[in-house]
């Protein structure tokens, strides 16, 4: 039996997905990142999501596209295995999922909570990671630079151990991968390709699911 879909889970899910939008422009320090981020006004990219679970011998792969327009417009769209579109635009948050009745707006009643996420995005898109109420950010150097985000709150920490973000070394402002670690052996890896910065994106992309 399945009970009501939880608002917090959706909030967290969206928050994690959208962390990547803030990681634009790669400086050496948080101050550099903040400064470089100011140059990015839009992002569009394709992504592949690899879900690793202990009971899977190979990851479960999902694919899709994402769009971001400063200050807080987002479209996160899965094309496979289940078509699903999350839209955030002008303070409104909607989610549509392909089901038995076609592409239907999610009616779980949790979307109001996503307003909080949009506020987080506002911080991240300006490179202000250290000011987040939900995640503590750490810069790691070495052979491969890495950003480690750990949840500040118990509720988030119960779901996510840490998030590891590896920036692209070839494209300023682009992300190579995001790894969301839930527990040992259970994690989600997001890989981004065809990342395009500062191209014009029609407003309808963030407004309409179709």
Partner 1 sequence: MKRKTPAVRLFFLGGLLVLLVSCGHLTEMKKLNPATDQALLEVCGSPYVKIPHRFVHAIEATFPGGRSATMLGVTLVDPDRQALHSVLMTLEGLVLFDGESDGATLSVSRAVAPFDKESFARNMMDDVRLLFLAPASSYLEHGIMKDGANLCRFKGNTAETVDVLIRPDRTWKIETYTTPFQPIREVMATNLTGNISGDIAFRGHTPQDYTLHLKLISAEPVSGESSPTEPGAGTDNE
| φ and ψ of 138, to 5 deg | -140, 135
* Interacting residue with partner 1 among 31, 39, 53, 202 (CB under 8 A): 53
- Choose among 80, 83, 64, 79: nearest CA to 17: 64
Cis peptide, bond prior to residue 81, ω within 30 of zero:
yes
Judged by beta carbon, residue 71 or residue 185, the one nearer partner 1 is 185
Residue 97 in the binding site for partner 1 (CB under 8 A): yes
Contacts of partner 1 in 125-154 (CB under 8 A): none
Cis peptide, bond prior to residue 71, ω within 30 of zero:
yes
* Interacting residue with partner 1 among 66, 68, 78, 129 (CB under 8 A): 78
Strand pairing of 186-197 and 175-183?
A: antiparallel
Which listed range, 20-28, 81-89, 134-142, 145-153, lies at the site for partner 1 (CB under 8 A)? Answer: 81-89
Q: How far is the CB of 200 from partner 1 (least distance, A)?
A: 28
Strand pairing of 162-167 and 135-140?
A: unpaired
Cα separation of 151 and 132, whole Å? 10
Where along the sequence are the contacts to partner 1 (CB under 8 A)? 1-6, 8-10, 12-13, 16-17, 48-62, 78, 81-82, 84, 97, 99-100, 104, 106-109, 158-160, 180, 182-183, 185-186, 188-189, 191
């Amino acid at each position: 039996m399945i009970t009501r879909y939880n608002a917090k889970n959706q909030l967290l899910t969206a928050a994690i997905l959208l962390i990547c939008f803030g990681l634009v422009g790669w400086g050496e320090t948080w101050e550099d990142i903040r400064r470089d981020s100011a140059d990015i006004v839009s992002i569009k990219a394709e992504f592949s999501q690899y879900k690793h679970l202990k009971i899977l011998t190979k990851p479960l792969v999902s694919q899709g596209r994402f769009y971001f327009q400063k200050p807080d417009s987002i479209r996160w769209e899965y094309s496979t295995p289940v078509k699903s579109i999350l839209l955030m635009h002008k303070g409104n948050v909607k989610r549509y999922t392909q089901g038995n009745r076609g592409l239907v707006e999610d009616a779980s009643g949790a979307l109001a909570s996503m307003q909080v996420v949009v506020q987080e995005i506002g911080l991240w898109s300006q490179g202000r990671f250290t000011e987040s109420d939900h995640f503590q950010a750490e810069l790691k150097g070495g052979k491969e630079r890495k950003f480690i985000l750990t949840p500040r709150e118990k509720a988030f920490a119960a779901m996510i151990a840490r998030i590891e973000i590896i920036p692209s070394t070839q494209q300023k402002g682009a992300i190579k991968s995001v790894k969301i670690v839930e527990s040992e052996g259970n994690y989600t890896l997001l890989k981004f390709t065809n990342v395009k910065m500062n191209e014009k994106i029609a407003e309808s992309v963030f407004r309409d699911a179709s």
